[in-house]
Structure 1
Amino acid sequence: MAMIKNKDIQIRDPFVVPVKEEGKYYLFGSTDSNIWGNGTGFNAYVGRDLEEWEGPYTVFKPEEDFYAENNFWAPEVHKYEGRYYMFATFRRKDNNLLGTAVLASDSLLGPFTPHSDGPVTPKDWCSLDGTLFVDEEGLPWIVFCREWQQVGDGQVCAVRLTADLKDIVGEPVVLFSASHAKWPTSFQHPRYPGQDNYVTDGPSFYRAANGDLFMLWASFINNTYALGVAKSASGDVLGPWEQEDEALFQSDGGHAMMFHAFDGALMLAIHTPNQTPNERPLFLEIEEVEGKLRVRAT
């Protein structure tokens, strides 16, 4: 199979699973050529150096009776209790609202099939970008965004999952709203005259060696996509979450995650620019400086 370079891969919301035993990285993301329309499934790529990849490999393709047909977004793959679980966002047919569902497979390259009965996020909420968080007691949570269209000031929320990842336990807790941080800016939308709106996108977690718990999340600065960082004061998913004053990345990129490369380097996976069909994966080295995350100067 011919190798493909980062500059030739159209992908949003990149998510990397390093498999050290194989010496391979598995790259997942929103891979439809028009992710704002009909969803065809998700592809993955496999590589050894974060520069060239084999693929695409089809890892999820919906059956005819699947509960969504538009907006297949942000697949993340997590190993949990011996299987691989994909958390991905879909727009439901029955109410036209976004929600994050759980799919499962015995293999990183799928095929992934529905595991939860539709989205596990609240049915009457417009929710997206759910990620799996397993706390210090081994209990699973889903952390996700509630869309600005419903609340104006977009939220990041958390709720416990059942042990089998098929449903939620209790009611979601709002961890913070976008305007709690200083760096995002609001925007107006003709559908909501006079309302200041803020976006929350793509929460993901990084646990530092000293136990600090960081969350990456995306929003906009003057209509340009950007990535921010929050740190949990308690070291737990429920926070309280303290926001960095300035964005970590503000060059028209966002919806990122962090992982360790095989040489030990701490890496950021992000897509940029934020315009379809030009989105490409970008990998940047991150350093921890006095308890904060910074992009390492090259």
Structure 2
Amino acid sequence: MNSKPTQMNLLYTILFIGLSLNSCSQQKEEETKITPPPAVVLKDIFLADPTIFYNEGTYYLYGTTTGNTSLNGEGFQVYTSSDQKNWKGPVGAQGGLALKKGDAYGSQGFWAPQILKYNNQFYMIYTANENIAIATSDSPLGPFKNVSKEPLVAPVKQIDPFVFIDDDGKKYLYHVRLTNGNRIFVAELNDDLLSIKPETLTECIAAQLQWENTQNADWPVAEGPTVLKKDGLYYLIYSANDFRNPDYAVGYATSKSPLGPWKKSTTSPIISRNLIGENGTGHGDLFLDKDNQLQYVFHTHFSGTSEAPRKAAIIEMNFVKKENELLLEARKESFRFLKKN
């Protein structure tokens, strides 16, 4: 009478052990599986008036420090990247700074740097205390220093410098003078890059068109010049409107001479909120990447309702021939914000 229950109990016991072993095996398999690392979340880079300098396989990103940071007002940060997509930094030689207050001219208002390599030395041309100064370094990471701690001599306040070296070796300083508005001027530089030839000083651009002063301000703004030469023609790219204005935008003018006169393009603005859907698009710099593609790095407002902190962004630029005229255009689809790890 007890044989059947005993056999049934034995069967249940074997079945239970089998299920338990299977469950333990599955658990061990789950435990031994390699858990994928969490996805890396890239963060916006908060820099205004940005510039990118390419040297020996590395991109160096500089700009006006913006946002809540302990480095704000202390000099110029620098970020690095090998592909323009993943940026590291700030990685400047002095606590993230490529130029640190105290090593060069200036105590405040460190704005709009430009980097160039000349005679095996790296030069940083920048604004501080609403004056233009030049510092040097043996490395793009700094430290950039200005031993004299003196700015370029000028009778007025001046900002937003850009040095252009022509095919014949002549050097030109494009910059903004604060006189009846922000106006773009140019002057030939002496070979030491430390002073201009006053007799060559010439006004280039003033904000006079409707798109350049959408708020009808008494102090119109044209600023952030950068220059390149293409097929014998000089292209001066600039920004107009106050940087806090959502209509801050980028246009350009052309000339047959680095000193002008300049003819404004009828296709301006070529970068604006109408093109990319972001407010405050402007004040950047042109550069050629490792594939010889022309790029423009610039800043935008933080959001549709807040100007600060401004964000660094990039867009491809191309020359397009239309009706025997070589036009400069921005490729909308290439626009993106620069990100750091």
**Cα shift at 1:207:** 2.1
Per-residue CA deviations over 1:185-224 (Å, capped at 9, x if unaligned) read 26466xxxxxx3210111001222x232211111128752
Q: Equivalent of 1:53, from 74, 87, 98?
A: 87
Who is 1:241 aligned against?
Answer: 262
Q: Equivalent of 1:111, from 143, 152, 160?
A: 143
Who is 1:10 aligned against?
Answer: 46
The answer to whether 1:280 aligns with 2:302 is: no
Per-residue CA deviations over 1:254-288 (Å, capped at 9, x if unaligned) read 11211122223221111112765331111111111
Amino acid of the residue matched to residue 54 of structure 1? K
* Alpha-carbon distance in 1 for matches of 2:148, 2:237: 26
| 2:212 counterpart SS class | coil
Q: Provide closer, same or farther for how the CA distance between residues 265 and 67 of structure 1 changes in structure 2, counting only shifts above 3 A.
A: closer
Who is 1:63 aligned against?
Answer: 102
The answer to whether 1:129 aligns with 2:130 is: no
TM-score by length of 1: 0.83
In percent, how many aligned pairs have the same letter?
A: 30
* Alpha-carbon distance in 2 for matches of 1:14, 1:249: 15
Who is 1:101 aligned against?
Answer: 133
The answer to whether 1:175 aligns with 2:204 is: yes
Amino acid of the residue matched to residue 134 of structure 2? V
Whether contact under 8 Å (1:178, 1:199) holds in the other structure is yes
**Cα shift at 1:8:** 2.2
| 1:271 counterpart SS class | strand
| 1:70 counterpart SS class | coil
Whether contact under 8 Å (1:27, 1:44) holds in the other structure is yes
Q: Equivalent of 1:31, from 57, 65, 88?
A: 65
Q: Provide closer, same or farther for how the CA distance between residues 269 and 155 of structure 1 changes in structure 2, counting only shifts above 3 A.
A: same
| 2:67 counterpart SS class | coil
**Cα shift at 1:297:** 4.0
Who is 1:254 aligned against?
Answer: 282
Q: Provide closer, same or farther for how the CA distance between residues 111 and 293 of structure 1 changes in structure 2, counting only shifts above 3 A.
A: same
Who is 2:329 aligned against?
Answer: 294
Q: Provide closer, same or farther for how the CA distance between residues 256 and 206 of structure 1 changes in structure 2, counting only shifts above 3 A.
A: same
**Cα shift at 1:32:** 4.6
* Alpha-carbon distance in 2 for matches of 1:28, 1:248: 23
Higher strand share: 1
Q: Provide closer, same or farther for how the CA distance between residues 49 and 4 of structure 1 changes in structure 2, counting only shifts above 3 A.
A: farther
Q: Equivalent of 1:216, from 237, 240, 243?
A: 237
* Alpha-carbon distance in 2 for matches of 1:4, 1:146: 41
The answer to whether 1:162 aligns with 2:176 is: no
Whether contact under 8 Å (1:4, 1:55) holds in the other structure is no
Who is 1:94 aligned against?
Answer: none
Give 5+ residue unaligned stretches, structure 2.
1-39, 92-96, 274-279, 334-341
Regions of 4+ moved over 6 Å: none
**Cα shift at 1:113:** 0.2
Give 5+ residue unaligned stretches, structure 1.
92-97, 190-195
**Cα shift at 1:167:** 1.6
* Alpha-carbon distance in 2 for matches of 1:41, 1:116: 17
**Cα shift at 1:156:** 0.9
* Alpha-carbon distance in 1 for matches of 2:106, 2:147: 15
Whether contact under 8 Å (1:84, 1:106) holds in the other structure is yes
Higher helix share: 2
Who is 1:203 aligned against?
Answer: 225
**Cα shift at 1:54:** 1.3
Who is 1:192 aligned against?
Answer: none
TM-score by length of 2: 0.73
Aligned residues: 271
* Alpha-carbon distance in 1 for matches of 2:206, 2:311: 28
**Cα shift at 1:151:** 1.3
Amino acid of the residue matched to residue 169 of structure 1? K
Who is 1:231 aligned against?
Answer: 254
